[in-house]
Structure 1
Amino acid sequence: MTLIATRPDSGEPRPYQFPQIQRVTVGGGTVIAAHLAGQQLASALLLLDAGAAREPGGREGTATVLAKSLEEGTKSRDSTAYALALESLGAALSPSVDWDAFRIGLSAPVPQLAGAMRLAAEASRTPRLDPADVTRVRDDEVTALRMDWAEPGPRADAALRADLFGAAERYGRPLHGDPASVAAVTVDDVLAFHRQWMLRPGVLLVAGDLDTLDLEELGEAAFAGTSGDPLAVDPPLGVPVRGERRTVLVDRPGSVQSTLRIGHRAPERATPDYVAMTLAATVLGGAFTSRLNHLIREVKGYSYGIRGSYAMTRRFGRFEVAAGVQTAVTVPAIVDTLGEIARTELDGVTEEELAVARSWRAGQLSVEMQTPGSIVNALSTLVVHGLPDDYYATLRRDFLEATVEQVSAAAGAHLHARGLTLVIEGDAAVIRDELTAADLGELVDSEI
């Protein structure tokens, strides 16, 4: 056996070109399509401005229940007939929700895409929403959430979000709600959400061989029976960062490890600093070769892995470090993590580190953009965040050409080691005294 002490260098990036984009306005909506020559399996995505941010207070999870109810049949077909209709076309439907949009994904052979699009529109515009079906879907979601929340992590995530954005605000609550909020969702809530947000045309995104696809036909299928103008986009929330740290303790009696969630607010996805911020976060904690993973996992052995990254939506962003560490080393792990964040903020990155981050990010982008589904998701980023059509043509180059000075400046501007919220989910009886003695910031108990 031969042990290799040094990691191999990254190779030269291979060329990549994002597909050409076409736009068509039809039926009150817009079709944006990417040409994949010879691609016979097409993907489409109906993008509606009906994301989780539109949910009413106390009913977080309404949009998720609606998304999971769409395959329960339509006004003209029960669930069995609808499933058979999709299957007869070789199509697959995948509704989902994020902060910014309600997404109805669809894949089908190119010759069948128009028919499949009519079925997708039928589900999204005229769903059956039988009370018994909606209630069952809701109860299944509550059960799944209760099981999820019994594991380490979701409570810590929720505590961090509540501290950063405010527990009374929608962005301060979990994306898909929690067991209590979803249990409170009624059939009338789901029906009202559908009526209010789902009947506008939206935007249809398509990726496939455009030489064999009729975009106007697809648009007519997607937007039939809809009305209304696009909704106004609310402004970004801003990036307030407190002047000193706060520590939030989430008690998990008997836990043999501590779950860490450390973060602060950050800019929205459309920020001009996106590339430099992403590369800085990659050096700090976004890859297996990162500073945090090297120190916390490889040198200290505190954790199986630790990651740090920026998550960004249309209106806000968040910097977050996530890890699970042994209970006995909770405080040392936090202290070392804070030290690496502060070092990156103050000193920036090195050329050697940045070379690896550039190559990895550019290569990852190329690998991710290989399927019709990934291309329509990329198109959705352009739409949701108001980015230009040539964005991906330049993004890879921007990753490869980013300088140490640019990335270090972004680290200094968008990392705030002194303003972090530290959430620790663990056995409070074991770790409280050490946390207090370490004086990591005001210590409060979570109400979650």
Structure 2
Amino acid sequence: MDNPTEAFRHQPPAPLPLRTLSIPTPEELTLPNGLRVIIIESRRLPLVSIRLAFRTGDAFDPPDLPGLSDVLTHMLTEGTVSRTSRQIADEVARIGATLNAGANSDYSTVAASALASYANTIFELLADVALRPSFPEDELQLTKQNTQQNMIAQRAQPSFLASETLARVIFGKHPYAVVSPTVESINAMTREQLAGFHRAAFIPNNAVLLIAGDVRRDAVMKRVEKLFAAWQPGEVAQPAWPPLPEREARSLYLVNRPGSAQSNIVIANAGITRTHPDYFPLLVMNTVLGANASSRLFMNLREAKGYTYGAYSSVDARRFAGTFRASAEVRADVTGASLKEFFMELERIREVPVADKELADAKSYLIGVFPIRLETQEGLIDQFMQIKMQGLPEDYLLTYRDRVNAVTMTDVLRVARAHVTPDRAAIVVVGDAASITDQIASYAADIEMYDSAGKRQEVNVADTVGDD
């Protein structure tokens, strides 16, 4: 018999009212050479974080040298005109700092952090690696060897094979179609090519310098001017890339991994850019459908069916294009059954309005996790960097929760119908062709099959049907 005094344990507590976000107000200045400087003063901790970000990423690589931006950014900390790789590493370690660089499809970043007492030191190190890299030949050869070993390891991962195939299918001749360098492009890279690309892409009028933490505006600007004022501007590349392929029907691509006990499934269609007005409704819709462990896909394919450890969907909204995708790794013997459940859920989110509780839970989740991204200084500066690199509104952080809350049931249904298109989806399955081909054949008019190296293979299907 239940104890009446314990009744409260059967009801979850009501959510607390939203607290006002405490976000420091950034101050923006621009140097004569075009470098935009964002200063975010926050004295909670004696730390300083720095980001030097360029609106040039992997998508801007020369067509014959995919991977150039990744190799270039890796090489920035491997030697400068005045320092060797070892000297850079030792100086960073001596002050307990971090200094690294990297690139994604849309932009490249040099990032640093240190105790505020070492701000001048880490600032000078960051400027040195960003502006005066020497691309030492011995370090370049080592980077090439390591990159090629990583490429071999990548091809052993079904998730990489699925992403590679999907990008090629969805993006066509757009640069986003390239997700990895080739052996030929890595071998072809030279110091001169890296230096030339660096001169063209790493220019102040295509960059934003963000400084956050225990700093003072006037002192920071004096340091910035000393380190960066002589940096010469250049011509900013204006991309003229082809549009994404128009998809007229569902298509299926099988990457054969003989003997694989699992199938990696990805179902996708072209999506939206990061600044699209449907971004927030689509974010809420995706949270209902498959963003977390309480979403529909997870509850169906894992909890109800037991086909997988997790099934999810995602909105990949980039600067120039994007995708919507649903994915899972499932047992090989339930590959076809998993596709059936995926398409059932994709159709349901398009045809049936979401329940009030689902909508409320999705909004609560998004609003609840949002402040976590701003809790640390590193998280805060990265959010401001995203705003600048993706061209988001200046009030993006302050209005995020309001824009999530404003999404209605009608909005969710509208964006699902507009941006989730299962009848024209690309289906990519990585698995053992011998055991799964017959299971999946009915989900498209035909199947294109490839090996793990990306080479086309013949498909043997007893009976291929055009409808599922």
Structure 2 length as normaliser, TM-score?
0.88
What is the alpha-carbon distance in structure 2 between the residues aligned to residue 254 and residue 187 of structure 1? 42
Match of 1:291 among 260, 275, 296: 296
Q: Does 1:365 align with 2:370?
A: yes
Q: Does 1:276 align with 2:256?
A: no
Match of 1:336 among 333, 341, 344: 341
**What is the letter of the counterpart of residue 195 of structure 2?**
L
Q: Does 1:69 align with 2:65?
A: no
Label 1:444 to 1:68 Cα distance change in 2 as closer, same or farther (>3 A). same
Aligned residue for 2:466? none
Match of 2:250 among 241, 245, 252: 245
What is the alpha-carbon distance in structure 2 between the residues aligned to residue 406 and residue 235 of structure 1? 32
What is the alpha-carbon distance in structure 1 between the residues aligned to residue 269 and residue 141 of structure 2? 37
Label 1:239 to 1:163 Cα distance change in 2 as closer, same or farther (>3 A). closer
Aligned residue for 1:148? 154
Label 1:230 to 1:203 Cα distance change in 2 as closer, same or farther (>3 A). farther
Aligned residue for 1:101? 107
Aligned residue for 2:139? 133
Label 1:119 to 1:372 Cα distance change in 2 as closer, same or farther (>3 A). same
1:306-317 mapped onto 2 (5 Å cutoff): 306-317=311-322
Label 1:221 to 1:170 Cα distance change in 2 as closer, same or farther (>3 A). farther
Label 1:222 to 1:263 Cα distance change in 2 as closer, same or farther (>3 A). farther
Q: Does 1:427 align with 2:437?
A: no
What is the alpha-carbon distance in structure 2 between the residues aligned to residue 117 and residue 214 of structure 1? 12
Contact map agreement 2:57 2:69 (CA 8 A) in 1 = yes
How far did residue 10 of structure 1 move? 7.2
Greater length-normalized contact order (CA 8 Å, ≥ 6 residues apart):
1
Aligned residue for 2:462? none
1:36-435 mapped onto 2 (5 Å cutoff): 36-166=42-172, 168-174=173-179, 176-178=180-182, 181-201=185-205, 202-211=207-216, 214-221=219-226, 223-229=228-234, 231=236, 234=239, 241-435=246-440
- Per-residue deviation, residues 14-58 of structure 1 (Å, max 9, x unmatched): 422332111112252111122323331121100113311111113
- Per-residue deviation, residues 398-424 of structure 1 (Å, max 9, x unmatched): 113322222222222211111110000
Secondary structure of the residue that 2:392 maps to in structure 1? coil
What is the alpha-carbon distance in structure 1 between the residues aligned to residue 243 and residue 22 of structure 2? 34
CA RMSD for the aligned pairs? 2.4
Structure 1 length as normaliser, TM-score?
0.92
How far did residue 258 of structure 1 move? 0.4
Uncovered stretches (5+) of structure 1, i.e. residues with no partner:
1-5
What is the alpha-carbon distance in structure 1 between the residues aligned to residue 272 and residue 115 of structure 2? 39
Secondary structure of the residue that 1:214 maps to in structure 2? helix
What is the alpha-carbon distance in structure 1 between the residues aligned to residue 198 and residue 239 of structure 2? 20
How far did residue 376 of structure 1 move? 1.4
Uncovered stretches (5+) of structure 2, i.e. residues with no partner:
1-9, 455-468
What is the alpha-carbon distance in structure 2 between the residues aligned to residue 132 and residue 41 of structure 1? 35
**What is the letter of the counterpart of residue 190 of structure 1?**
L
Q: Percent of counterpart pairs with the same letter?
A: 28
Aligned residues: 441
Aligned residue for 1:32? 38
Secondary structure of the residue that 1:407 maps to in structure 2? helix
Contact map agreement 1:238 1:316 (CA 8 A) in 2 = no
**What is the letter of the counterpart of residue 99 of structure 1?**
S
How far did residue 169 of structure 1 move? 3.8
Label 1:386 to 1:212 Cα distance change in 2 as closer, same or farther (>3 A). closer
What is the alpha-carbon distance in structure 2 between the residues aligned to residue 10 and residue 75 of structure 1? 60
Aligned residue for 1:11? 15
Aligned residue for 1:3? none
**What is the letter of the counterpart of residue 270 of structure 1?**
T
**What is the letter of the counterpart of residue 70 of structure 1?**
L
What is the alpha-carbon distance in structure 1 between the residues aligned to residue 421 and residue 99 of structure 2? 42
Aligned residue for 2:448? 444
**What is the letter of the counterpart of residue 450 of structure 2?**
S
Contact map agreement 1:46 1:222 (CA 8 A) in 2 = no
What is the alpha-carbon distance in structure 1 between the residues aligned to residue 351 and residue 223 of structure 2? 52
What is the alpha-carbon distance in structure 2 between the residues aligned to residue 213 and residue 73 of structure 1? 31
**What is the letter of the counterpart of residue 81 of structure 1?**
Q
What is the alpha-carbon distance in structure 2 between the residues aligned to residue 218 and residue 262 of structure 1? 50
**What is the letter of the counterpart of residue 187 of structure 1?**
R
Contact map agreement 1:246 1:422 (CA 8 A) in 2 = yes
Label 1:10 to 1:359 Cα distance change in 2 as closer, same or farther (>3 A). farther
Contact map agreement 2:81 2:132 (CA 8 A) in 1 = yes
Contact map agreement 1:24 1:30 (CA 8 A) in 2 = yes
**What is the letter of the counterpart of residue 301 of structure 1?**
G
What is the alpha-carbon distance in structure 1 between the residues aligned to residue 96 and residue 222 of structure 2? 19
How far did residue 114 of structure 1 move? 3.0
Label 1:134 to 1:10 Cα distance change in 2 as closer, same or farther (>3 A). farther
What is the alpha-carbon distance in structure 2 between the residues aligned to residue 439 and residue 51 of structure 1? 36
**What is the letter of the counterpart of residue 185 of structure 1?**
M
Secondary structure of the residue that 1:37 maps to in structure 2? coil
What is the alpha-carbon distance in structure 2 between the residues aligned to residue 276 and residue 214 of structure 1? 43
